Structure 1
Amino acid sequence: MNPLFMTLTASAAQSSSFWTVLVQKFNEWSQSGPLSFVLRLATGLLIVLIGKLLIVWISRIVKRSLSHAKKINDLMARFILQLVNIVGWIFLAIAFLQHMGINMGPVLAGLGLTGVILGFAFQETLGNLLSGVMIVINAPFRIGDYIDSGSFSGTVTDMDMICVILSTPDNKRITISNKLVWGSPIVNYSNVERRRVELSVSVAYGSDLQVVKEVVWKILGSYAEILPDPAPVVEVNKLNASSIDFVVRPWTKPADYWKVYWRFQEQICDKLAEVGISVPFNQLDVHMINS
């Protein structure tokens, strides 16, 4: 016989048994009188209230402990707090039903059987949950970091057990499942002490290369955002068909990356023009030979 069919049959039998017990309990409550039922329900709700306060108290203790742990980042702390709340409410629900006289044995026994079915039905959700655990453990990013994940880029604004939420520079909100994030290369631009700015300068053939270097160094020296260590690099990188290309590589803090990039691009043309050096454009020289 098909194992899945046997699992479904056994699970249905367990569910039927649970509902049978529930119907019997309703009959007992109706026969015992409304006063007895109201008292039992009131004490059950009191248990729920006390349990809720206990969950809140435990969550605060856990949150305080996690805030002092150096190896626990914000994402991991939030994930652990969510897990504590979910587990706490599951135990509280079981305690309430047990207090109401409902035998939870058939339900707990049926969880193992229905778990197989739920695994097939919610495999994507379970995959996101497990991927979320891997993200939390490995901590490739934090809240507030700017990252690339697959073909998406943005600042991490939130994360839960199912998805990661990014905010793009043009104020778009991107929700990506944890499974897709963990299954793609993650590039973190924020969780580093410094970044290298990749710049290039192209000049025409015949230009004084030493003068070009002096102009570039003068511009870089005027930027307070550029770090002295490692020292910037300004060297000839490539001899193209229509230009000589310099590579310019200063180092900055991540927050200053685009400030330096855009300001340099704006200033370099004017500074080169002041010393008589032209920026080339694509051109093709044609030589005519008389036959």
Structure 2
Amino acid sequence: MDLQALWNEHSETLIEYGTSLATVIVFLVVGLAVAGWVGRAARKALLKAQLENTLAIFFGKMARWLTLAIVIMGCLGRFGIDMTSFAAVLAAAGFAVGMALQGSLGNFASGVMLLLFRPFTVGQVVNAAGTTGTVVEIGVFTTVFDTPDNRRIIVPNGIVFGGTIENISHHVTRRVDVEVGTDYGADLDQTREVLMAAAKSVSAGLSDPEPAIVLAGLGGSCIDWKVRLWVNADDFWPVKDALTRAVKQHLDQASIGIPFPQLDVHMEQLGG
């Protein structure tokens, strides 16, 4: 069969499918461009609304892929493929994938909540999921911490968001507490004055709120005191060290003893 006869026999079909193919190609090219524009526009709009950058990027990509899915379904429909059955297959596949990845989906949902409600941000020091450290990254599935001894800890978001979160560096100021015990023979008023002088001698301490000396209790071998000093959050640990040192030095200078637990052992010789 020569080409002319083949063309005469199938020309209408070839023209029909050729036209459909050309239309689909143009539709795909335009769809790709539109999907990219939709993704960028969505991301810019979300960032303008002051949404977390990670979420803005994620939802921008979701908008792009959703637009591409619509374009692809339109292309398949151009060739006469039934979209109802195709959608049912996608739904079944989505259900199966969702069951297999339910743990990951839970972490994703928790990540979205962390990014939306912002109980902490990158750079803050928090105690969450049994981990204390500086937040390095908040992803949609995991949160990354660096501990004070320079260990990198990666925790699933489901565990972080499902437990108690202590944001240690949320406030600009913190209170340093130093507990100390003194002899029962020491005068209470004098001890209070000495401890107050120790607190005020720490230069990095804040004067507002003022330092506080609290008579905490009467222990088994000493009188319990708490020395409280407010500081800038960044100075917490250096001031903790300095205040502890000042309390010890001022008590020594005032000849006020710091008792320590003692154990008396009495030995008796039993007659044979």
TM superposition score category, shorter chain reference: 0.7 to 0.9
Q: Is the 8 A contact 2:106 2:158 kept in 1?
A: yes
Shift of residue 50, structure 1, vs aligned partner: 5.1
Distance 1:90 1:165, change over 3 A: same
Q: Is the 8 A contact 2:38 2:63 kept in 1?
A: no
Shift of residue 288, structure 1, vs aligned partner: 9.3
Question: For 1:184, which of 160, 163, 170 is the aligned residue?
Answer: 163
Partner of 1:91: 67
- Check if 1:48 corresponds to 2:32: yes
- Check if 1:249 corresponds to 2:228: yes
Structure-1 separation of matches of 2:42 and 2:178: 52
Structure-1 separation of matches of 2:122 and 2:244: 31
Question: For 1:214, which of 176, 193, 196 is the aligned residue?
Answer: 193
Segments of structure 2 that go 5 or more residues without pairing to the other structure are: 1-12
TM-superposition CA deviations, 1:15-57 (whole Å, max 9, x none) = xxxxxxxxxxxxx99xx78xx9799658735642453244224
Shift of residue 272, structure 1, vs aligned partner: 1.9
SS at match of 1:198: strand
Question: For 1:109, which of 72, 79, 88 is the aligned residue?
Answer: 88
- How many residues align? The count is 252
Shift of residue 259, structure 1, vs aligned partner: 2.2
Matches within 5 A, 1:225-240: 225-240=204-219
- Check if 1:261 corresponds to 2:240: yes
Shift of residue 123, structure 1, vs aligned partner: 0.9
Shift of residue 243, structure 1, vs aligned partner: 2.2
Structure-2 separation of matches of 1:111 and 1:249: 63
Moved more, 215-224 or 138-147: 215-224
- Check if 1:153 corresponds to 2:132: yes
- Check if 1:167 corresponds to 2:151: no
Give the aligned residue type for 2:151.
K
Partner of 1:126: 105
TM-superposition CA deviations, 1:190-222 (whole Å, max 9, x none) = 122432222112223322333332222123223
Partner of 2:44: 60
Partner of 2:4: none
Give the aligned residue type for 1:223.
V
Structure-2 separation of matches of 1:159 and 1:116: 27
TM-score of the aligned structures, taking structure 1 as reference length: 0.72
Structure-2 separation of matches of 1:43 and 1:37: 10
Structure-1 separation of matches of 2:211 and 2:169: 20
TM-score of the aligned structures, taking structure 2 as reference length: 0.77
Distance 1:107 1:254, change over 3 A: farther
TM-superposition CA deviations, 1:137-164 (whole Å, max 9, x none) = 4332222221111311111121122111
Distance 1:109 1:288, change over 3 A: closer
Question: For 1:197, which of 176, 182, 187 is the aligned residue?
Answer: 176
Distance 1:47 1:199, change over 3 A: same
Partner of 1:19: none
Q: Is the 8 A contact 1:48 1:96 kept in 2?
A: no
Partner of 1:69: none
Segments of structure 1 that go 5 or more residues without pairing to the other structure are: 1-27, 67-71
Give the aligned residue type for 2:32.
V
Shift of residue 90, structure 1, vs aligned partner: 3.1
TM-superposition CA deviations, 1:166-200 (whole Å, max 9, x none) = 11111211111111111211111112243222211
Structure-2 separation of matches of 1:185 and 1:191: 15
Shift of residue 248, structure 1, vs aligned partner: 1.4
